[in-house]
Amino acid sequence: MLSIQIQQQEKNTVITLDGQFNALGAVDFDEQTAKLVLGETNVILDFSRVTFLSSAGVRSLLTLEKAIRSSKGALYVSGISDLVRQVLDISGLSRYLKITVDLEKAQQLIAKAKQTGQQMETETCSYQVRLTSPTASKMLIWNKQYRTGTWDAPADRPFLVSSKEICFAIGEGSFVQGTEPDDAQRGNLLTLGPFTGLCPFDRTLPFDYMITDPQGSYGIYVWDALSMKGDPDIDIILRAKQDMKLSTLMDDLFKVITRMTHQVPSVMGVLLKATFTAGSPVHSPPGLPESVLAGVVAVHHKAMADKDDPEILDYFTSKKWYSEGDDISYQAIAAFTGRDHEVETDSHHDSIPELDPDALHNLVAVDDLEGITSARAWIYLPGDLIPASSQRLQIVKKDDFWFPDAWEFIARDLYRSSSKLILTPIHGGFSASTFFADSFDWHGRRQLPSVLKIAGKMIIDREEANYNEYVKKYILNNSTTIFGTSTFQEWKGLCISFVGITGPDSHIRWLTNHYRERTAEELLPLFDKIFTHILKPWYGQPRLEVIHPYRDHDPRRVFFPNLCRDAEEEFGISSKEKYIWLPEMKREIVNPYWFLENIFEQRRDYKKLWYRCITHRDLNMQNILLDEIENVYIIDFSETGIGNAVADFARLEPILKIEMSRISSENDLSQLIGFEQGLLEPDSMEMVPSFRYQGNDPNVYKAYRVICRLRHYADVVTLFEKDLEPYLLAVLEWTLPVVSYKGVDKLRKRYSACSAALICEKILSIS
């Protein structure tokens, strides 16, 4: 429930929220805020007690922000948690809001915005100068000599960034048009919010631009740039006494700021919105006043000489920037945006403007610009000049695994409010790469644990759709939530959060860990909880429908098209041979790979009435997670859908037998064949298999106890149906592919072949 309190304070409105800003809270919020009389009113949302923000809440905030902006007010949000900040960042809403640490900071910011500013005069202009930001901005340096990236990279390799990372920047870069940067496409770069413009160094090529979509799926290669972090420090409105040059204006701005702050700034970033009299050859058509939106970085070399950092000093003094005198030089990229646009003087609009691409008719790096008549300048006076890489997410790999630039881009986007991300691979995926993600905020505090999954766009889209269709509607006591997605090139990433855990200090562990450490007596109640409590809505309402068991459980269908070829390379067993000799059993037995090639094809259209329900379709023990108080979290829904009601239980059987048992010798393998024969004694679902293992591995008895419980679940789900064939086919579906697994030793692969052969023999005997 969301508690909403509205308090009017002169021209400000403070809305204090308490609770969960979900769909229900959004309805109340919309009803109450619709009654507000805005009229240049600033609104502060106190989020210090908001524990959750859903997509419905984001829509409500966006609606309110648009209404306030159209009334020439501003929406401030104070006291947000890291979790809420992530939601705002992912949705793209954060760039439209004024986010402050607490309510007091928001009120200070509003008070400064209401100041009319200080009037100043120079020989060329009259100025209205106003301090806008309560905290000093920062300037980030994107340069190879300041690279402290996550991975080893060549010194001349550019940074791969999203425009969300740099907001307002000028420098050198190119758009991402392939897997590698193209130096031929390199040029001057200007980024303003979602807009990024490029002026190629090859002047025969036209300028280009890109608008970042809400998902942030476009990348930029940055070779060299300066970007501003934080809000502008000073807002200046100027009127020229006579037409002036850009170079003259830059010199004037240093003088004005020095008089106001009593200190000569060493460097400043300027976003300049100006009107000027047409006549410069860099724009067209001539004859009427036009407007320009320019990004400028200007350096005062005498003040910069006082810097004690030789690298920073070298960076700013070695650049070939435009200079009209000894003291000041600058770089400027100008976007010409049309005719006769008046400069806004409304004091509420102190945030930087966005560039309208529909009005853009030229984008070019300029040395100077003549004929400026009026302008508004948003000035950044950086308190710090820092390497950009020190402000980026640090990604740490717990193991040596492939993690390309595109995946790094996705991880940075999904964890953009974090300072550090530790990734541990979750092994077992075939079509996707999944990682347990441990993240930390910029104060070093551990954030809520999560899972990062990266795959082709089609797979992640399917997972989202399956989650919404089969999980969100049914598994209400499973607190796994898709927190956000990010797309880059052909890849898409998905962040899964666990909102039911006790806090950032919680530890999420795989069911695999619990299985290895616990006894059978301890595990059985845990499996009961997973299957008869958490997942009961899936299995509790089976429907008797027609199935095609051989078609549905063909392992070649999705993940293992080359399974038979792998078996021939591994064992020398051809799928053309009907029988093979198994030395472990000292007899011939049906060849499981021949069975796959022939019996599966012969029975492809075979159908029967059987129970179907929602099934996970890949429910291995790496897709079941538990926290320290045994809350259960199910992940990986890319294959989830309606299918054979016993498939999920059967999926775990080969894992327990083949992966969790000791197979370090020929004797171990021989003893496991006896265990397998006992499991295949029953002829119907309700029969309990016998335990025929003669070895000394305690894990085998543990597997036997859990398999018996899984088969009991299958028997319960199928009600009065006792046919063992659909269950055995589901077991076979995940036993045959072990031969294709990478990193699995040969003894285990041999056990899988023996197990598959025995299962095929059993199917032929009962079908």
pLDDT in tens, 302-322: 888 888 788 788 888 777 788
Q: What is the mean pLDDT of residues 547-553?
A: 96
Q: Is a pLDDT exceeding 60 seen at residue 339?
A: no
Peptide bond into 265 cis (omega under 30): no
- Residue 284 has a pLDDT of 42
- Residue 760 has a pLDDT of 97
- Residue 162 has a pLDDT of 84
Buried b (16+ CB within 10 A) or exposed e, 453-485: bbbebebbbbbbebbeebbeeebeebbbbbbbb
Q: What is the mean pLDDT of residues 271-299?
A: 72
Instruction: Give CA separation, 679 vs 176, 675, 694, in Å.
Output: 56, 7, 14
Let me know: does 164 contact 216? Beta carbons within 8 Å.
Answer: yes
Q: Which tops the pLDDT comparison, 62 or 94?
A: 62
- Residue 411 has a pLDDT of 94
Q: Is a pLDDT exceeding 50 seen at residue 285?
A: no
Alpha helices in 35-81 (DSSP H): 55-70
Q: Is a pLDDT exceeding 60 seen at residue 710?
A: yes
Q: What is the mean pLDDT of residues 462-489?
A: 86
Longest CA–CA span in the chain (Å) reads 105
Contact residues for 649 (Cβ-Cβ < 8 A; gap 6+): 531, 710, 711, 713, 714, 717, 727
Q: What is the mean pLDDT of residues 180-187?
A: 84
- Residue 325 has a pLDDT of 74
User: What's the rounded Cα separation, in Å, for the pair 493 and 723?
Assistant: 41
User: What's the rounded Cα separation, in Å, for the pair 470 and 475?
Assistant: 8
Q: Which SS3 state, helix, strand or coil, does residue 469 take?
A: helix
Which stretches of 398-473 are assigned E, i.e. beta strand? Answer: 420-426, 432-440, 450-456
Q: Is a pLDDT exceeding 80 seen at residue 574?
A: yes
- Residue 401 has a pLDDT of 86
Helix axes 592-602, 746-766, angle to 10 degrees: 40
Instruction: Give CA separation, 602 vs 296, 573, 596, 758, 764, in Å.
Output: 72, 21, 10, 20, 13
pLDDT-above-90 percentage for the chain? 49
Q: What is the mean pLDDT of residues 188-196?
A: 90
Look up residue 58 and give its amino acid.
V
* DSSP notation for 237-270: EEEEEEEE-HHHHHHHHHHHHHHHHTS--SEEEE
**Exposure of 724 by Cβ count < 10 A (0-12 exposed, 13-18 middle, 19+ buried)?**
buried
691 DSSP 8-state letter: -
Q: Is a pLDDT exceeding 70 seen at residue 281?
A: no
312, containing H or E segment: helix 310-318
pLDDT-above-70 percentage for the chain? 90
pLDDT in tens, 390-422: 888 999 998 888 898 889 999 998 998 899 999
Q: Is a pLDDT exceeding 90 seen at residue 679?
A: yes
Residue 237 φ/ψ, nearest 5 degrees: -115, 130
Q: How far apart are the first and last CA of the chain?
A: 56
The count of C-alpha atoms lying within 13 angstroms of the C-alpha of 97, restricted to the half-sphere facing its C-beta, is: 28
Range from 387-396, 629-638, 704-713 that averages highest in pLDDT = 704-713
pLDDT band of residue 282 (cuts 50, 70, 90) is very low
Q: Is a pLDDT exceeding 60 seen at residue 649?
A: yes
User: What's the rounded Cα separation, in Å, for the pair 109 and 232?
Assistant: 12
359 DSSP 8-state letter: G
Residue 4 φ/ψ, nearest 5 degrees: -125, 120
Range from 149-158, 264-273, 610-619 carrying the lowest mean pLDDT: 149-158
Range from 34-48, 140-154, 373-387, 413-427 carrying the lowest mean pLDDT: 140-154
* Closest among 133, 378, 128, 141 to 270, alpha carbons compared: 378
Let me know: does 390 contact 416? Beta carbons within 8 Å.
Answer: no
Quick one: CA dihedral 738, 740, 742, 743, positive or negative? positive
* DSSP notation for 555-616: TTTTT-TTHHHHHHHHH---TT-SEEEETTTTEEEE-HHHHHHHHHHHTTT--EEEEEEEE-
Let me know: does 738 contact 748? Beta carbons within 8 Å.
Answer: yes
User: What's the rounded Cα separation, in Å, for the pair 371 and 332?
Assistant: 16
Q: Is a pLDDT exceeding 50 seen at residue 292?
A: yes
Q: Is a pLDDT exceeding 60 seen at residue 433?
A: yes
Q: What is the mean pLDDT of residues 609-630?
A: 92
Q: What is the mean pLDDT of residues 481-488?
A: 87
Q: What is the mean pLDDT of residues 568-588?
A: 90
pLDDT band of residue 500 (cuts 50, 70, 90) is low
pLDDT band of residue 278 (cuts 50, 70, 90) is low
pLDDT band of residue 283 (cuts 50, 70, 90) is very low
- Residue 173 has a pLDDT of 92
- Residue 51 has a pLDDT of 85
Range from 277-291, 399-413, 513-527, 584-598 carrying the lowest mean pLDDT: 277-291
Where do the domains of the chain lie, and which CATH numbers do they carry? 2-113 (3.30.750.24), 116-135+231-384 (3.30.1330), 138-229 (no CATH), 394-506 (3.30.200.20), 510-766 (3.90.1200)
pLDDT in tens, 234-256: 999 999 998 899 999 999 999 99
